């Protein structure tokens, strides 16, 4: 008996089990076509998650920019800090998504 990765959810599963205990994918009956379809769907879902994270990061960045724009009129105000935090989270989130997107394409 050995451990394989479920084609659908990538969780470790025994190669003897017919059904993935994590997502219910029928491993035993999966044809090559099923496996390819599962891999394609998994890539699409991953891309959707990355896109969603990218939108959130951009919203964070824009909100941070606006907060900073208005917060700078009162230096040291909470709004100014919200601006810095928003810009930081948005910028780092954007970079993280870019790196993860490149890593996903290379696989």
Nearest approach, Cβ of 1 to Zn ion (angstroms)?
17
| 8 Å CB contact between 28 and 19 | yes
Nearest approach, Cβ of 9 to Zn ion (angstroms)?
3
Nearest approach, Cβ of 14 to Zn ion (angstroms)?
12
| Per-residue DSSP letter, 8 | T
Which spans of this chain sit near Zn ion (rule: CB under 5 A)? 6, 8-9, 20, 22-23, 25
Nearer to Zn ion, 4 or 62 (CB): 4
Taking Cα atoms as reference points, which of 103, 100, 96 lies closest to residue 56? Answer: 96
């Amino acid at each position: 008996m050995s451990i394989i990765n479920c084609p659908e959810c990538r969780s470790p599963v025994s190669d003897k089990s017919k059904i993935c205990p994590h997502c219910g994918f029928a491993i035993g009956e999966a044809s090559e076509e099923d496996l390819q379809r599962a891999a394609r769907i998994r890539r699409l879902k991953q891309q959707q998650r990355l896109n969603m994270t990218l939108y959130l990061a951009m919203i964070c960045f824009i909100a941070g920019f606006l907060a900073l724009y208005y917060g700078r009129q009162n230096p040291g105000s909470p709004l100014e800090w919200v601006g810095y935090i928003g810009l930081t989270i948005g910028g780092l989130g954007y970079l993280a998504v870019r790196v993860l997107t490149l890593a996903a394409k290379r696989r």
